[in-house]
Amino acid sequence: MRGGARVDEMIAWQLVIRGRVQGVGYRDAMIGRASALGVAGWVRNRSDGAVEALVQGDTAAVESLVAWCHRGPPAAQVTAISNSVVETDPALDAFLCRRTE
């Protein structure tokens, strides 16, 4: 950061969201929120009951989406989120739902 100006960089995080997050509309709500924020990536249910997502965009938008993920939609009860930094993927240009893994 030079001269007090903040340059917003592109970041990507992989998230694993635990709690009551399946069967409550979490993925659809996350797609809507991510799209509104201009975040690209994907979300999917995992066979262990968690929801997994890759979120990519400018720092402020990704941080805003992750803050939303801690709450989720009204019926969700998020108990934990783990995240790790991953490489950005220039091919990601939308936010999609993937198949359960």
How far apart are the C-alpha atoms of 3 and 84, rounded to whole Å? Answer: 30
- In angstroms, the first-to-last Cα distance of the chain is 40
**CA proximity to 67, closest of 21, 8, 15:** 15
Active site residues: 27, 45
* H/E run at residue 68: helix 59-69
* Separation of alpha carbons 97 and 46, rounded Å: 12
